[in-house]
């Protein structure tokens, strides 16, 4: 109600002033903050530098599951372009945005021209990276590669896993993503290792394109150490207010470990993310970084600053030279 009264008062005051003096200039509307090219050059250099990364699962760009059409958001909290500039890697939870409504639809892609344009801008201008969320939690995927249909609920041998890796690579390639995050829950360790090795011919440090990303995330059982040489990062996941703590994970390189906390159903809850950001392993190592599940929930921060807790975590890991 106060907001309505304020705008009504402002409108009446403007009407009176203009009626009395027609020479008064029009009121300037506040615009979003803009930056020069040097800012974006520095930002891209930061993302490419050796630092503790920030990582986020982000779904707010996508329509609610089961709803047709694409989202045309009024809030910057539902726009990829509204994410913090210093966010390094975005996991495209809830699908992959594409700009081609007439192309053959790949499982996992969504026609979302606004989200797609935002993503390309953030990639090219800001240097942010975007990865497909490949659900490896159940043998229930149906997909088509080279005209052959596969059903992983019926059969999942080495040939099917190789085909699944190729399908993932095709899905990543279509919209020009930077790599893939494999969600490891419920698979046999041997099958995950096979999938990682297959994907390493497309993505990650062992691939012909070492600038691409191959990531494994996990919840209760950590990724097998055999995956370590092929992956850029391993994401230790969380889904609820667990109050856990960051810790070394045997067999995985400390500099590759990213500790994620969930932002709860209410924006007041920041979980352990600030503690994760401050924690460091013993010795001459540093962690890979920290991140958040359901990043969109932190947009409406209690402080009034969008993504306030997430921004603080980034600052803890990588303090700004000029504040």
Whether 146 is covered by a domain: the verdict is yes
Strand partners, 179: 131, 213
d(CA 64, CA 227) in angstroms, rounded, equals: 34
pLDDT at 243 > cutoff 90: no
Whether 18 is covered by a domain: the verdict is no
- Residue 68 contacts by C-beta under 8 Å, 6 or more apart in sequence? none
Record the pTM. 0.86
Domain that holds residue 131: 52-317
Q: What value does the mean pLDDT of the chain take?
A: 83
d(CA 236, CA 262) in angstroms, rounded, equals: 11
Whether 25 is covered by a domain: the verdict is no
Longest Cα–Cα distance in the chain: 81
Query: Residue 217 in contact with residue 181, Cβ under 8 Å?
Result: yes
d(CA 215, CA 34) in angstroms, rounded, equals: 33
CATH number for the domain spanning 262: value is: 3.20.20.80
Q: Where are the beta strands (DSSP E) in 227-323?
A: 233-236, 257-262, 289-293
Digit-coded pLDDT (tens) for 256-299? 999 998 886 544 556 788 989 999 998 889 999 999 988 988 99
Q: Residue 323: pLDDT band by 50, 70, 90 thresholds? A: very low
**Six token digits for residue 68:** 């047709």
pLDDT at 108 > cutoff 80: no
Of 54, 53, 73, 55, nearest to 63 by C-alpha is 73
Tell me how long the chain is: 323
Q: How many structural domains is the chain composed of?
A: 1
Digit-coded pLDDT (tens) for 61-91? 988 765 667 888 889 999 999 999 999 999 9
Rg (CA), the chain: 22
d(CA 57, CA 66) in angstroms, rounded, equals: 20
Whether 227 is covered by a domain: the verdict is yes
Whether 291 is covered by a domain: the verdict is yes
d(CA 254, CA 233) in angstroms, rounded, equals: 9
pLDDT at 179 > cutoff 90: yes
pLDDT at 12 > cutoff 60: no
Q: What percent of the chain has pLDDT over 90?
A: 53
**For residues 300 and 228, which has the higher predicted lDDT (pLDDT)?**
228
């Amino acid at each position: 109600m106060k907001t309505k009264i304020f705008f009504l008062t402002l409108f009446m005051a403007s009407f009176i002033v203009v009626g009395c003096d027609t020479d008064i200039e029009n009121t300037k509307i506040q615009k979003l903050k803009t930056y020069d090219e040097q800012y974006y050059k520095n930002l891209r250099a930061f993302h490419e530098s050796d630092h503790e990364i920030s990582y986020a699962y982000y779904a707010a760009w996508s329509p609610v599951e089961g709803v047709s059409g694409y989202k045309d958001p009024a809030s910057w909290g539902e726009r990829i372009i509204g994410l913090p500039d210093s966010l390094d890697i975005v996991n495209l939870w809830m699908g992959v945005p594409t700009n081609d409504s007439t192309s053959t639809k790949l499982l996992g892609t969504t026609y979302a021209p606004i989200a797609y344009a935002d993503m390309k801008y953030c990639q090219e201008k800001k240097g942010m990276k975007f990865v497909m969320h490949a659900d490896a939690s159940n043998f229930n995927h149906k997909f088509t590669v080279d005209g052959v249909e596969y059903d992983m609920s019926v059969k999942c041998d080495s040939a099917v896993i190789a085909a699944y890796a190729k399908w993932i690579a095709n899905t990543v390639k279509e919209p020009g993503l930077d790599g893939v995050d494999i969600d490891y829950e419920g698979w046999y360790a041997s099958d995950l290792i096979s999938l990682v090795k297959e994907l390493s011919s497309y993505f990650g440090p062992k691939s012909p394109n070492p600038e691409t990303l191959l990531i494994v995330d996990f919840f209760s059982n950590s990724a097998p150490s055999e995956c370590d040489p092929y992956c850029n990062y391993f994401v230790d996941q969380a889904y609820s207010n667990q109050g856990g703590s960051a810790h070394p994970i045997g067999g995985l390189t400390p500099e590759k470990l990213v500790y994620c906390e969930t932002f709860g159903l209410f924006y007041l809850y920041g979980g352990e993310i600030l503690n994760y950001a401050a924690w460091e392993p013993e010795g001459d190592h540093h962690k890979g970084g920290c991140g958040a599940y359901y990043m969109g929930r932190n947009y409406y921060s209690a402080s009034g600053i969008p993504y306030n807790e997430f921004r603080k975590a980034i600052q803890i890991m990588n303090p700004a030279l000029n504040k």
